[in-house]
Amino acid sequence: MASISNAFSLSLPSNRIANSSSDFNPITSALSGLDSGEFSPGRVAVSKPSGIGGRICANATPVMDQPVGEKSSGAPTIVEVDLGNRSYPIYIGSGLFDQPELLQNFDRHVHGKKVIVVTNTTIAPLYLDKVVEALTKGNTAVSVEYVILPDGEKFKDMDTLMKVFDKAIESRLDRRCTFVALGGGVIGDMCGFAAASFLVNFIQIPTTVMAQVDSSVGGKTGINHPLGKNLIGAFYQPQCVLIDTDTLDTLPDRELASGLAEVIKYGLIRDAEFFQWQEKNMEKLIARNPNALAYAIKRSCENKAEVVSFDEKESGLRATLNLGHTFGHAIETGFGYGQWLHGEAVAAGMVMAVDMSYRLGWIDSSIVKRVDDILLRAKLPTAPPETMTVEMFKSVMAVDKKVADGLLRLILLKGPLGNCVFTGEYDRKALDDTLSAFCKS
């Protein structure tokens, strides 16, 4: 068994948590600042620091066992994000906007009598009325204000954020009010950051696959800086996440595919069984089979919730959720925000990370092929835009948040499918070779 210092490795088949004290525990190592670990292919090598629970409260019923093609309204599936006194539920289901009791769980979710919904010009005409109704139906005590922001990643900035504060201050909102993020990841990240800065509670109502499987869960909030994505932000957990899967009916195909990049990511970094399920069901996901989507969302939320409950503030383990993101952020920043969707950039970035892992001799060629195949079936790119140069990658990667003491740490696959490492210890030549292989100059 190879020993890698200044790295840590993970392997956590879903629904299995090893708590044996004799197991190597990368989480406690990372949390205690050691940030070191030992590679252990195929072994469950995660246990939780004592004093914090690690509970995932949803069944993972494979979609193959469910009737296909029909929506099942009714009680939501609940995935609990376990963070002690900051724990919260993720409600997942169809028709949830018609269940006002979920949002109107006022003790727990909506604090105070004033709510401000933050959304954008695309989502407001589609879902704002429904959400306002869900917040107020049968309850005249609550007043709802809203702010409608311009749509797009390029507006995830300080100027647009200020519009939320303008509205909140003009409406004389105090610290007892609640912010509600209604939209995709851009709205969720900005509204969450606004709530963190204004020190009020907030609720996430994500309406894209990207936001439903990833960005709305875990409390990472923030905005972009012209020199890099998400460079300004805060960790701030919502009171709950409400995922009405019906909102995906109006989502453009390209946005749907973008979100699937993060779904594929969970399979690659920690859930080989889920990856295999995706290999069987990718066409159903692309065709928006409701059961397939619901299952993929639930399983993704379980994975994200578990990682976040182990490592809320990204001491180590949580960084693995950024597979492909260092390359991807360089594409988003270098190519201009909004040109490529986040998931598209991440897809190309994952291919580059996988290529580098292979060059290092850490994975075998079958994984490289499976990653390419599944991304193509998900209608995602498998290479960066042709205009990206090695220099563009290097200059953006130099300001990546995972640079520590001048060393760029990367998430790379290592061992059998479902295993990865977060490390700064790799042969620089492999990185240079990968960049050269994917860039014309």
Ligand X SMILES: NC(=O)c1ccc[n+]([C@@H]2O[C@H](COP(=O)([O-])OP(=O)(O)OC[C@H]3O[C@@H](n4cnc5c(N)ncnc54)[C@H](O)[C@@H]3O)[C@@H](O)[C@H]2O)c1
The residue from 10, 18, 173, 186 that contacts ligand X (CB under 6 A) is 186
Q: Is 300 in the site for ligand X (CB under 6 A)?
A: no
Site track for ligand X across 370-409, x = CB under 6 A: ----------------------------------------
- The crossing angle, in degrees rounded to 10, of helices 342-359 and 365-377 is 170
Binding mask 72-111 for ligand X (x = CB under 6 A): ----------------------------------------
Q: Which is nearer to ligand X, 218 or 267 (CB)?
A: 218
Least CB distance to ligand X at residue 134 (A)? 15
CB of 109 or CB of 304, closer to ligand X: 304
For residues 2 to 41, the per-residue mask of contacts with ligand X, x marking binding by CB under 6 A and - elsewhere, is ----------------------------------------
Backbone torsions φ then ψ of 158, nearest 5 degrees: -65, -40
Q: Does 123 bind ligand X (CB under 6 A)?
A: yes
Which two tokens mark 21? 């004290």
The distance from CA 330 to its chain's CA centroid, rounded to whole angstroms, is: 18
Residues 196-215 touching ligand X, rule: CB under 6 A, are: 207-208, 210-211, 214-215
Provide the H-helix boundaries in 378-427.
390-397
Helix and strand totals (H; E) in the chain: 14, 16
CB of 8 to ligand X, least distance (A): 20
**What are the phi and psi torsion angles at 282 (to 5°)?**
-60, -40
List the one residue out of 153, 242, 256, 258 whose CA is nearest residue 206.
Answer: 242
Beta carbons within 8 Å of 125's beta carbon, 6+ residues apart: none
Three-state secondary structure string covering 87-133:
CEEEEEEECHHHCHHHHCCCCCCCCCCEEEEEEECCCHHHHHHHHHH
Q: Which of 247, 289, 326, 434 binds ligand X (CB under 6 A)?
A: 247
Can residue 160 be called a binding residue for ligand X (CB under 6 A)? Answer: no
Instruction: Give the interface size with ligand X as a residue count (CB under 6 A).
Output: 30
SS3 readout for 244-270: EHHHHHHCCHHHHHHHHHHHHHHHHHH
Instruction: Collapse the DSSP code of 50 into the 3-class scheme (helix H, G, I; strand E, B; otherwise coil) and give the result.
Output: coil
User: Could you say whether residue 183 binds ligand X (CB under 6 A)?
Assistant: yes
Site string for ligand X, 219-238 (x = CB under 6 A): -x--------xx--------
Classify residue 12 by its DSSP letter: -
Contacts of 13 (CB under 8 A, 6+ apart): 44, 271, 272, 273, 418
Identify which of residues 25 and 122 has a Cβ nearer to ligand X in the complex: 122
Q: Is 151 in the site for ligand X (CB under 6 A)?
A: yes
> Residue numbers of the site for ligand X (CB under 6 A)?
120, 122-123, 126, 151, 153, 156, 183-187, 189, 207-208, 210-211, 214-215, 218, 220, 229-230, 247, 250-251, 255, 258, 341-342
